[in-house]
Amino acid sequence: MVLKTGAEYIESLKKRGPLRIYLLGEKIENPIEHPIIRASINSVSLTYDLAHNPEYSALMTTKSIITGNTINRFCHLHNSTEDLQDKVKMQRVLGQVSGTCFQRCVGMDALNAVFLTTYEIDQKFKTDYHQRFIEYIKLAEAEDWTIDGCMTDPKGDRSKRPSEQKDPDVFVHVTERRDDGVVIRGAKAHQTGAVNSHEHLIMPTLAMRNEDKDYAICCAVPADVKGITYYYGRQSCDLRRLDETEAGNVDCGNPVYGGQECLIVFDDVFVPNERIFMNGESEFCSRLVESFAAYHRQSYGGCKVGVGDVLVGAAASIAEYNGVEGASHIRDKITEMVHLNETLYSCGIACSAAGHKTPAGNYLVDLLLANICKQNVTRFPYEISRLLQDIAGGLFVTCPSARELSNPETRSIIEKYLVGAEGVSTMDRVKMLRLIENLTLGRAAVGYLTESMHGAGSPQAQRIMINRLSDLEAKKKLAKSLAQVSD
Ligand code: SF4
Ligand code: FE
């Protein structure tokens, strides 16, 4: 089955075996119908539905470089620099439509990074990881999987290597090697879309040394494999999802779509040989981590820009509802928001256009520009949010709840005093304010702000890469040549 619809994707999630999920103190038996989880599933569903939408299908689908079949771009190995740019454009569209994190990119980025790394490991060690991984990709394409690219370990004491930790489980590692596979134990933190995935593609989280061999493991397991427990992340304002009123889910701000992050614990999980793509080749961890990080840093030049478009739209709308859309300082602030947002997009497009073919045959972004892209993403969304909050006025955090707006006794009072520009319904104004709260303080702010800061690596991780890739020696030569200073 290729190219699932959103409904077929949800059906396929139901067909998984039971998952062990803890959320808000409860063991969740039916994740699909839980209001908090459902909103995040709705976001992933968009990545399937838009593939069938004539307006977007050219962007959402492409031809597999392995089989030639038409597949969803989220399962694709990038085949050109245009492909890399189309990825960013697709992510922008999805950010615009969902207003949040749609979760499926991490797996796409992991597929591409593991593809190029397994090829290079095989070249050096005459292993057969790459062919195994091609078979895995064929399955991913055929089943149209959502894959959780599973990288970030909890890390324990940051001053110590994985093999030096008091508790070895703070990094995923191999506890037993058998003829037919390995057993792994440990955890992965901040896992985007973990519960909404069919598969976890597990990768090491940092460069490893020889003594960390047991931690140099890359492998795949189904989401419902025996031994996994999911601890669902608590996020700001998440209880608003449970707060149905007659006025609907107004207080959610974004009633339909949400993101998802989990702590995943692997408690002696068996992985058969055909699903192992690195097993002890510690010198290749840095190649895998850096290429995955670069792909995901590129991704942020698409998804965050799409959500940024929603912030710009919310700014223009609330200005209108407040009757201040003509004020020159408001127009100037909105122009600044657009300038910052399009700068991020330029970075996403630039690192894609400057990409190159890898020895394995897929395309990788320009590493320096991808890191510049993400470094800007750690800053500009905060300024865009600040400008939106400035334009909105303080009501987005002081507004009475939807319950007051549903209660006939209080509704008319709220409507009388929270009225805005003539002809604008108070309810519409409140809805827009709640969306602004959601984007800049609430649940979507996790995806738009905190994730912009820490997702795909915290700011310092990019600065290390920028420093390493900036070729200062060549630049020194330029300056010395012009100044006529001889070495
Ligand atoms: Fe995709 Fe952006 Fe979410 Fe990462 S943060 S999974 S790139 S939407
Ligand atoms: Fe992310």
- Decide whether any atom of ligand 1 lies within 6 Å of the 106 Cβ: yes
Confidence of residue 7 (pLDDT cuts 50, 70, 90): very high
Whether residue 476 is predicted with pLDDT greater than 60 in this model: the reply is yes
Task: Give the separation between CA 38 and CA 261, rounded to whole angstroms.
Answer: 13
Q: What is the mean pLDDT of the chain?
A: 96
Confidence of residue 244 (pLDDT cuts 50, 70, 90): confident
Q: Which of 42, 102, 151, 195 for mutating ligand 1's site (highest number of atoms within 8 Å of CB)?
A: 102
Q: In sequence order, what are the residues at sequence separation of 6 or more whose Cβ sits closer than 8 angstroms to the Cβ of residue 55?
A: none
Task: Give the separation between CA 194 and CA 12, rounded to whole angstroms.
Answer: 15
Q: In sequence order, what are the residues at sequence separation of 6 or more whose Cβ sits closer than 8 angstroms to the Cβ of residue 64?
A: 70, 71, 75, 76, 77, 141
Predicted confidence at residue 286, as pLDDT, reads 97
Domains and CATH numbers, the chain: 288-474 (1.20.140.10)
Rounded mean pLDDT of 290-315?
Answer: 98
Using alpha carbons only, give the angle 279, 193, 402 rounded to the nearest 5 degrees.
165
pLDDT in tens, 115-150: 999 999 999 999 999 999 999 999 999 999 999 999
Whether residue 236 is predicted with pLDDT greater than 90 in this model: the reply is no
Rounded mean pLDDT of 214-233?
Answer: 98
Shortest-distance ligand to the CA of residue 448: 1
Confidence of residue 1 (pLDDT cuts 50, 70, 90): low
Where do the DSSP E strands lie in 61-118? 61-63, 70-72
Q: Which of 43, 88, 98, 300 for mutating ligand 1's site (highest number of atoms within 8 Å of CB)?
A: 300
Whether residue 326 is predicted with pLDDT greater than 90 in this model: the reply is yes
Whether residue 247 is predicted with pLDDT greater than 80 in this model: the reply is no
- In the set 61, 62, 192, 378, the catalytic residue is 192
Distance 38 CA to ligand 1 centre (A): 17
Predicted confidence at residue 370, as pLDDT, reads 98
Predicted confidence at residue 243, as pLDDT, reads 83
Are 383 and 440 spatial neighbours (Cβ–Cβ below 8 Å)? no
Predicted confidence at residue 80, as pLDDT, reads 98
pLDDT in tens, 65-90: 999 999 999 999 999 999 999 999 99
Whether residue 245 is predicted with pLDDT greater than 90 in this model: the reply is no
For strands 217-222 and 276-279, give the pairing: antiparallel
Residue 457 vs residues 95, 146, 421: alpha-carbon distances, Å: 20, 22, 43
- Which residue is associated with the tokens 């992991």? 110
What is the DSSP annotation of 194-257?
STT-SEEEE--SS---GGGGGG-EEEEEETT-TTEEEEEPP-TTGGGGG--BTTBSGGGSSSS-
pTM for this one? 0.97
Rounded mean pLDDT of 378-406?
Answer: 96
Predicted confidence at residue 235, as pLDDT, reads 87
- Decide whether any atom of ligand 1 lies within 6 Å of the 102 Cβ: yes
Task: Give the separation between CA 57 and CA 50, rounded to whole angstroms.
Answer: 6
Strand partners, 340: none
- Residues near ion ligand 2 (CB < 5 Å) are 455
Start-to-end CA distance of the chain, whole Å, equals 64
Are 291 and 117 spatial neighbours (Cβ–Cβ below 8 Å)? yes
From the CA of 451, give the closest atom in ligand 1: 5
Whether residue 160 is predicted with pLDDT greater than 60 in this model: the reply is yes
Confidence of residue 18 (pLDDT cuts 50, 70, 90): very high
Strand partners, 150: 202
Are 276 and 133 spatial neighbours (Cβ–Cβ below 8 Å)? no
Residue 288 vs residues 123, 333, 344, 364: alpha-carbon distances, Å: 15, 41, 25, 12
Confidence of residue 354 (pLDDT cuts 50, 70, 90): very high
Predicted confidence at residue 378, as pLDDT, reads 97
